[in-house]
Every structure is written in C-alpha cells, then in structure tokens.
Amino acid sequence: MRMLAMRPPTRLGRQERQNVLKGLAFIGPWFIGFLLFTIYPILASAYYSLTRYDIVRPARFIGLANYREIFLDDRIFKVVLGNTLYMVIVGVPISLAVAFLLANLLNTEMRLRSFFRTIFFIPSIVPVVATAMIWLWIYNPRYGLINSFLASLGLQTIPWLSSPAMAKPSLIIIQAWAQGSVIVIFLAALQDVPRSLYDAATVDGANRYQKFWHVTMPMCTPAILFNLLMGLIGTFQSFTIPWLLTQGGPNQATEFYGVYLYRNAFQFFRMGYASALAWLLFLVIVVFTTVVFRSSASWVYYGGEAR
C-alpha cells in the first residue's frame, strides 16, 4: 500500500498574518479578562478549598480536611442543606406553576392585555434591594400592608418573617412574585403553539381543561425545562433577598447555602472552608441539572419529534 505524501504546511501570506494579528488584538482584552476574572478564581478556589486560609495569614495546605469537616463535624451544614432543598423542591415548582398560569391568563384575548403584561414584568426589573425593602414593609408585623388589613378585619396577624414556620413560605411568595422574565418566556412558548392543534382538539370534543393538559402543556415543555433549570440554579445560589430580610433567621430557618457560604467567607474569614462549600454547591447543582436533563427525555416534547 502506497503511503500518501504529506503536504508541507502552507505559509500564511502577509495580509493573512495581519488579519490574524488584528483578530488576536480584538479578542485580547476579553481573553485576558476571561483568564483573570474567570479561570484564575476557579483554580484559586479549588486550591483554597484544600487549605486553611483566613486572608490575614498565608494559606496552609490541609488536604481534604475542610470537606471532612463539612460532612462529619458541621451540624449547621445539615440545617443549611435542608433549608436550601426545601426552597428548591417546594419553591421552584410553585414559582413555575404561578408563572405558567399567569402567562396563560395574559395570553388570552382581553382588554388592556399589554398593560397587564407590563405590570407583571415590572417586578423582574426592580432592583433586588428595593424589592427587599418593599417586602420588608409588606411583611412588617405591626405596620405591614397585609397585617394592617387583617387587623382592620379583626383577624389575627401573621408573623411572616419572625416565625420559623412562616419564614420560608414568605420567601417563596416573593420568589413567585418576581417571575416576570419567566412569564415572558412562557408567553413566547404559548404563542408558538400551532392553532391547528386546538382546532383538532375541539373537533375531537376536548374541553378547555383537556386542551390545556394535552395540547398546551406538552408544547410548552421545552420552555418549562429551561425555566426549571434556571430556577434550580438560581435558588441554590439565592443570597440577596434572604440576607436582606432575615440574615438567616429566625432560628436558622432561612440559613440557605449562599448565606452560610457568605457568612463563613466574610464574617468568619474561613476562606478555605467557604471555597470547599462553593465546590460542593457546584457539584450539587451539576447532579440536579443532570437528573433533570436525564428525566427530560420522558416528559419534554419538541415539535416534529417522533415519539
């Protein structure tokens, strides 16, 4: 068998070399920023997770001691993980259901539809600190909007943020309220459902509920999958609203993963331990994302896909 002769590499012309250099010059600032602000922090946190580091003194390598402490010695970590999983397993589906139902309402023919769409989208663009201050006033046990209304009716007020039993449901209400961007994605998915499917369902004698369950829901499952994944990732990392409203209280009822990580890093200055917590959080998110993706084959429908 005759071996094919290898062609010598062709040299770039002068103009081609100049184009390559110009391209490298254009991407240079982004590439340097990517190395400094993305790759380096990732590698540094991986190293610090294997050290005892408090910013003041040099990092001291201790191997897997931080991870061992998390799983074997840290009692608060179990509470933190339970609180976070509660928000993920309970809060995310409730928020998605509320957003999907509101999107269906806003997709119907009605007066002032554009106005209502704008109203429901506004919470997603309000700064997080302003959102926290608004809800802190709404949930105020004495002067809050809800409790003032209940008191005017002679009903018992609700300790929204001061009760361990009510703290997490109160935060879920805020999470469901600020679903404007999710509603927009659902609206786009709803408007992409072919009208012919609804007409065929009508001919087959389907009622409104059957159309919703057998036509609307399957055709919107790609958007549901996307919003579910974004909700899972965002809820696992939630920090600002819980910190501003409760700072982990009452009685550690809202001590979520992001709050606990921040507390170890910037209050206790246990940077090595906080880095280990961050890498564990990354692994937990990867596991949940993988499980959702693997399960999506049985419930996500893409138009034109053979089942």
pLDDT 10s digits, 14-48 = 788 888 888 889 999 999 999 999 999 999 999 99
Q: Which two tokens stand for residue 304?
A: 């034109």
Span 255-302, pLDDT tens digits: 999 999 999 999 999 999 999 999 999 999 999 999 999 999 999 988
pLDDT at 172: 96
Cβ-based neighbour number of residue 116 at 10 Å: 14
pTM summary value? 0.88
**Whole-angstrom distance between the N-terminal and C-terminal Cα of the chain?**
48
CA distances from 96 to 16, 150, 268 (A): 51, 28, 36
- CA atoms of 212 and 203, how far apart (whole Å): 15
Residue spans of the domains in the chain: they are: 65-296
Phi, psi of 74 (to 5 degrees): -90, 105
Using CA atoms of 40, 41, 42, 47 in order, give the dihedral in degrees to the nearest 10: 90
- 238 close to 87: Cβ distance less than 8 angstroms: yes
Give per-residue pLDDT as tens, 215-254: 999 999 999 999 999 999 999 999 999 999 999 989 999 9
CA distance 280 to 3: 53
Predicted pLDDT at 109: 86
Residue 60's DSSP bridge partners are 52
Q: Among residues 214, 248, 225, 125, which one has the least CA distance to residue 178?
A: 125
Q: What is the pLDDT of residues 77-133, one digit of tens each?
A: 999 999 999 999 999 999 999 999 999 999 988 888 889 999 999 998 999 999 999
Tell me the H-state helices in 73-194: 75-86, 92-106, 113-121, 128-138, 145-152, 164-177, 180-191
65-296: CATH superfamily? MetI-like (1.10.3720.10)
Token digits for 41?
């922090």
Q: What is the pLDDT of residues 251-267, one digit of tens each?
A: 999 999 999 999 999 99
**Given a cut of 90, is residue 306 above it in pLDDT?**
no
